[in-house]
Amino acid sequence: MYKVLIATRLNKAAQDLLESSGSYEVAVETDGDITERVARHPDSQALIVRSEAVTSEIVDALPNLRVIVRAGSGYNTIDTVHARSRGVDVMNTPAANANAVAEEVIAMILADARNIIAADASVRAGRWEKKDLMGRELAEKTVGIVGLGNIGQTLARRLSGFDVRLLGTDPVLSPIRAEQLDIELVDLELLFGEADYVTLHIPENDETRGLVGDELLAAMKPGATLINCARAGLINEGAMRTARAEKGIRFLNDVYPRDEAGSKPIADLADIVMPHLGASTIEANENAARRAAEQLIDFADRGITSFIVNREIPSGLDETYCKLVNTLCRLCRGLSGKDTTLKMIETSFYGSLGQYADWLLVPLVAGLRESGNSVLDFRGAEAYLHDRGIEYHQRDTDPQKNYGESITIDFTSSVGGEALRAVSVRGTVTEGNMMIARINEFDKLYLEPVGQFLFFVYIDRPGVLGQIGVSLAKEEINIEDVRNPHDSRTGHSLATMKVNRAPDEDLLQSISQEIEAIAAFSVGL
């Protein structure tokens, strides 16, 4: 029998499914903290939790543990690195709570727009303040959705009956998929500038932390509403206070740095505060419970590794190739340009890498996503691309090309929904180091993609490198390495520069205009 500890308050569907299979002994513990619950069942082989913190000490307290299942999507409360070092797989149940969070956003918008909370308190207190509680209607307003994953797309569908204009931003959602959802794809600044309601549905990481700051909040309409049911760290609190004071921005919030009782610093800032209720519905709880049990059975009985978020690298695959495919993807995205929408990805895995092609799609798609989160396994990566209307093709390779153990990635993107833009990058690993061999038509680069880089493609002519160097020097940005190949067929040159720090967007645009660049971008690799 496989011993499973459900150390959280979870719908009974999980226990019923596991016990009905006949292969699982299930223990349910909800009393005491997580340490006490685990201590009562040290022989557990599987652990199911929700928001409980699974520390290295918890993992070590279960010597027979093989898998941890987070009944929900986020898994930042679990020490996945230590679990991996102990040979313990960690799984989550993405999308199980999508509808619950989407409906919560709508509930918060309507409650705020119609003053429902204040009206209820007023009437209960014996007052009749009808004139003071004049509300607003959602119909014919503009709603901006930041992040069009499972929750964002579900929210778009739920809003379809409210007669609203939908704006959305997502790094990879295709125009075809956006059109199906009746969403206009726009950049962040335009979304914040035109939306009456902005709702956040992206993860918190180094790239998104503090994303909603002075610049985006300054773009918002006076009296517009910001809803955060994603992660607390996405919003710069100081900037939000300024925007609220100067422009009357309304703020509806359901997330905090820590889920715990006590005073909340934003209590005086937000118009509605809720105790992280996004996934707290009977249906979402049952859905997460059922998914957790089903995935555990698939894992233990059938060896299916879908939804594992801390997977080991397959035996025989050098981890550096995982970093390489991720880096190549990010380069392709940068070369494609921010004004494009990705339509198709094509890959070629040469030499022995062909046998790991499915696995390598995982870090590739992780590089594609600005969130940087893992997309689990090959099936999850394929599903991610499919949901966003992006075609994926793994090409057969020709061993006679003698490319050794190398990887080629091609992106085809649309510009303005019509013209197509193609970029292609090839790389390999040499003496344990990543090496970029080719970018588009520029071959034999031998560039090690580690550090902060600038890339400029321009019409070949004398003096351009000097122009770039002078502009960077004025801002005390030092060039540490430079490659400047030319292509006689197209008449183009490529300048790749490793610099000591990234230029700001204004400087990059200024240089791009000065040298009349065909493409220009900055990326940290």
Within this chain, do residues 333 and 454 fall inside the same structural domain, yes or no? yes
Report residue 203's pLDDT band, with 50, 70 and 90 as the boundaries.
confident
Instruction: Give domain status of residue 38, yes or no.
Output: yes
Within this chain, do residues 128 and 56 fall inside the same structural domain, yes or no? no
Helix, coil or strand: residue 83: helix
Within this chain, do residues 11 and 107 fall inside the same structural domain, yes or no? no
Q: How many CA atoms, within 13 angstroms, populate the side-chain half-sphere of residue 439?
A: 30
pLDDT in tens, 222-276: 999 999 999 999 999 999 999 999 999 999 999 998 888 899 989 999 999 999 9
Instruction: Give domain status of residue 430, yes or no.
Output: yes
Report residue 286's pLDDT band, with 50, 70 and 90 as the boundaries.
very high
Instruction: Give domain status of residue 312, yes or no.
Output: no
Within this chain, do residues 19 and 85 fall inside the same structural domain, yes or no? yes
Say which CATH number the domain at 248 has.
Answer: 3.40.50.720
Within this chain, do residues 121 and 237 fall inside the same structural domain, yes or no? yes
E strands, 114-214, where? Answer: 142-146, 165-169, 183-185, 197-200
Within this chain, do residues 480 and 372 fall inside the same structural domain, yes or no? yes
Which 8-state DSSP code applies to residue 31? S
Within this chain, do residues 332 and 468 fall inside the same structural domain, yes or no? yes
Instruction: Give domain status of residue 74, yes or no.
Output: yes
Say which CATH number the domain at 422 has.
Answer: 3.30.70.260
Instruction: Give domain status of residue 103, yes or no.
Output: yes
Indicate whether 521 pLDDT > 90: no
Helix, coil or strand: residue 219: helix
Within this chain, do residues 360 and 507 fall inside the same structural domain, yes or no? yes
pLDDT in tens, 20-37: 988 999 999 999 999 999
Q: 357-368 vs 319-336: helix axis angle to the nearest 10?
A: 40
Within this chain, do residues 263 and 287 fall inside the same structural domain, yes or no? no
pLDDT in tens, 299-344: 888 777 768 888 767 767 888 898 899 899 989 988 887 778 899 9
Report residue 373's pLDDT band, with 50, 70 and 90 as the boundaries.
very low
- pLDDT, position 62: 97
Report residue 410's pLDDT band, with 50, 70 and 90 as the boundaries.
very high
Structural domains of the chain, count:
3
Within this chain, do residues 89 and 229 fall inside the same structural domain, yes or no? no
Instruction: Give domain status of residue 309, yes or no.
Output: no
- Of the chain, the percentage scoring pLDDT greater than 70 comes to 97
Contacts (Cβ under 8 Å, ≥6 apart) of 68? 46, 47, 48, 49, 54, 59, 78, 83, 88, 89, 90, 91
Within this chain, do residues 294 and 407 fall inside the same structural domain, yes or no? no
Instruction: Give domain status of residue 307, yes or no.
Output: no
Domain that holds residue 291: 2-96+282-302
Instruction: Give domain status of residue 360, yes or no.
Output: yes
Helices (H), 114-174: 116-124, 150-159
Token duo for residue 193: 């500038």
Within this chain, do residues 78 and 149 fall inside the same structural domain, yes or no? no
293's torsion region: left (phi>0), alpha (psi -120 to 50) or beta?
Answer: alpha
